[in-house]
Amino acid sequence: MKRVFLLISFSLLVACGGNSAIKSTTKPPAASNESVVAKSGAGGYYLDDGPGENAPANIDSIPNATLRTEQPSVRANKPYMALGRQYTPMTSYAPYKKQGIASWYGKRYHGKKTSTGEIYDMYAMSAAHTVLPIPSYAKVTNPANGRSVVVRINDRGPFKHDRLIDLSYVAAYQLGLVNQGSGLVEVEAIDTSAEALKKYSLQEANLPEKTAPVIQALPAESVSLPYFVQAGAFKNEINGNILQKKIQGLGLVGNVGVANVYNNGIYRVRLGPYASKQEAENSATEIRSRLNMTALVTN
């Protein structure tokens, strides 16, 4: 579900200047979407928002946000109002763990400024939240499939009452939420203070000698790699959208996502990721049987 520009006003606040999307004027903050419109074959999204036409080839392997110690922005963490509701952002880390609905935003906002004044990149692990500190980091988990991503909070929103967080396109894609437009997630704030990050590093790098694991090469079959099923490849985007919609309509998606991904001049309809090769093979077999077409298992 995508972002719209929302008119807000701040009471008793004076603008601090600069290019922050939150100002004490009638101009909106970099706000999350208000409603969703489903477009045929392209998943649910607001107006002209949606996936980009030229998604990176490595979208499935784009890494989590890198945890860093950062100073909260004074300007972006001031109390503010949106849609008649008052919000008081956190100004430092505090334990936060909550379940709610996540939406996502894509090409409509790609290249525009966020509440930090930074440029929004739909292919970076970021998110908008109403009260978590800007900038800060959070782990977002989709309880339906167990997938998690780590995002950097650098924007405000979403302001619709039933939304908890607005994810970047790639974060929603890797969580399997793109095609349905929104979904239930769990958001947990991450402590990135210097002391906490040092503790994380020690835990990972300085295991006691007696308990240090023996590192050895693993057989290829035991390496956990994501698998995908390619159901079709087309030069015309419309054909890919038609197949994507057909797969969704027949209920062949299961617990994974299906996307019409553009790569090297070809639109590829892919389902996944699957946790094992066997799951992907089972899905490919069903697609071949139901649609009488070739379906390939890929990494």
Considering the entire predicted model, what is its pTM? Answer: 0.54
For residue 43, give the nearest of 105, 111, 121, 99 by alpha carbon: 105
Residue type, 267: Y
CATH number of 37-194: 2.40.40.10
Question: What was the pLDDT predicted at 32?
Answer: 38
pLDDT of residue 202: 62
**What pLDDT sits at residue 90?**
94
> What's the token pair of residue 154?
């650098």
CA distance 16 to 84: 22
Backbone phi, then psi, for 143, in 5-degree steps?
-65, -20
Number of helical (H) and strand (E) elements in the chain, helices listed first: 4, 14
Q: Which two tokens stand for residue 42?
A: 């392209």
pLDDT in tens, the chain (299 residues): 444 333 333 333 333 333 333 322 223 344 333 333 333 333 344 445 555 566 667 788 889 999 999 999 988 999 999 888 899 999 999 999 999 999 888 766 666 787 777 888 888 899 999 999 999 999 999 999 999 999 999 999 898 878 899 999 999 999 998 887 789 999 999 999 988 888 776 655 554 443 443 434 334 333 445 688 888 888 888 888 888 888 888 888 777 777 877 665 677 888 877 878 888 889 889 888 888 888 888 76
Residue ranges per structural domain of the chain: 37-194, 225-298
Token readout for 23 is 């100002």
Return the pLDDT at 108.
62
Structure tokens at 158: 């979403």
Helical segments of the chain, H only: 169-175, 194-205, 237-249, 277-291
225-298: CATH class:
alpha beta
Question: For 70, phi and psi rounded to 5 degrees?
Answer: -135, 150
Neighbouring CB atoms inside 10 A of 40's CB total 10
CA distance 15 to 294: 59
pLDDT of residue 120: 82
Q: What is the pLDDT of residue 111?
A: 66
- Residues 110, 113, 119, 120: is their CA dihedral positive or negative? negative
The position carrying tokens 């000698």 is 209
